Structure 1
């Protein structure tokens, strides 16, 4: 660890100790008597803004909404996820927060949470606060101290105030979705049926995605009366003559990204298979330098297909637009990032490349029988190109042969 990293680690530790001491709160709920059917107000803290986590937790949220007493569901999240929680996941209260709220902002958010509880006839009470981040932050202590729930759910085993542990970050070796079904089981909810992700888009997002990807396809206007996963399957069938592969080379940590050379080689492979295959390069529009680097590696004949058979993401693509675009793919090649989980919600065939990060990669690998997950013991950018290109080519072969 360098001097700079040591400084930040020490600073964060001091802040943690200060917050735990100043805002120490011990919930009074008896874990032995914990029952989901007794909870009337549940608060989810999702301030990290991770889309993949939200998709993985969508089955958990669906089951909470199906509880007999239908508890009031509040979430605190950044702006990028607000519409997903309100319009798609059906939360009763969605509060937008900055990524690093101070005590004043947290106090304002908590006042709104308490007011919602009062308005729903729950006397301002919060029964459960749940945070999914593996390490507690000072803000978590402030939320708990202000809301004073009976139960606090989280993953940080160093925090004494957490009385419902979701999973242990150092030992849990199952998919995260299973950790949430186990949590539901602890409170008396039957989860014997399989995990089922909620697609994070509506018919309107699918219609918009179809106009981008398949403008000439003959397909009836999407209807809200039909499940969106089925609508997406019908849209894919309507464009069966032009198979579409998505490539997502980008992840937040640079060590998990494909190089422009590998990305360009996969694109050339797909487009070279026939005159009808198409590619969606799933980099956000903000990744202009990476996109330019990929395009610069294309031969002129391939570069000329940009806009027809080689597509890029539209400007201002929302989270739900991205989910709908993913649902229209015939196959996806991706690194370890949110689109892996978005593809699982509609059972899109995919191959994804992960760092072999031990338990972490076990927890977050795709949950779908239609997904292949290949793990490497070193950063993707340091691998020989063939390590990615050969399995990607085999996957493309597989998908084209099955059509």
Structure 2
């Protein structure tokens, strides 16, 4: 889970992230290991998520890593949720299932959309409002997001059972 970019404005708001995580099917909770990718604002972000009124799966914060550790962490994940950031592109390079959140800023999308955006295991969602810049990563169609996410988790869990 990498809802925060390197710049403090580029982030999936914690309330939207909470709404997404709250819609994960409860029967999946005990089989998930959700890790919040390192960012200097993690403590505040986790505090905001803790205030979310619904039950969320357990989320563990990762510590600051070296580049090698970061790459290993992304490579070890089955599914990545990330705002428009380097994590999106690393997930694509490793062929990981990916849910990527982008601002509705066409010039940025044309240049930086996920390489694998046309693959079945990749979903790029775009904010509903036209953005003035690429940092406006908010206001998504959360029904579309949670439907895709639950379907993807189900597929990954079935695959791991085989």
TM-score range, shorter chain: 0.7 to 0.9
CA distance 1:269–1:283, shift in 2 (3 Å): farther
Pick from 249, 268, 290: which aligns with 2:3? 249
Structure 1: stretches of 5+ with no match in the other structure = 1-246
Match of 1:389 in 2: 142
Is residue 398 of structure 1 aligned with residue 147 of structure 2? no
Write the distance in 2 (CA, Å) between the matches of 1:277 and 1:365: 27
Larger radius of gyration: 1
Residue in 1 aligned with 2:103? 355
Q: Does 1:297 align with 2:52?
A: yes
- Name the CA distance, whole Å, in 2 between partners of 1:271 and 1:318: 33
Pick 1 or 2: higher relative contact order, CA cutoff 8 A, min separation 6. Answer: 2
Residues matched between the structures, number: 146
**Given the superposition, is the C-alpha separation of residues 388 and 285 from structure 1 closer, same or farther in structure 2, using an over 3 Å criterion?**
farther
The answer (yes or no) to whether the contact 1:267–1:279 under 8 Å persists in 2 is no
Task: Please state if 1:267 is matched with 2:21.
Answer: yes
Counterparts of 1:268-347 in structure 2, within 5 Å, are 268-270=22-24, 272-274=26-28, 275-284=30-39, 286-297=41-52, 302=56, 306=58, 310-313=59-62, 315-347=63-95
User: Unaligned 5+ residue runs, structure 2?
Assistant: none
Q: Please say if 1:380 is aligned against 2:144.
A: no
1:367/1:311 CA distance change after superposition, 3 Å: same
TM-score (norm 1): 0.33
CA RMSD of superposed structures (Å): 2.4
**1:4-403 alignment runs, 5 A limit:** 247-270=1-24, 272-274=26-28, 275-284=30-39, 286-297=41-52, 302=56, 306=58, 310-313=59-62, 315-368=63-116, 369=119, 370-376=121-127, 377-378=130-131, 379-381=136-138, 383=139, 387-402=140-155, 403=158
Find the aligned partners of 1:288 and 1:338 in 2 and give their Cα distance.
21
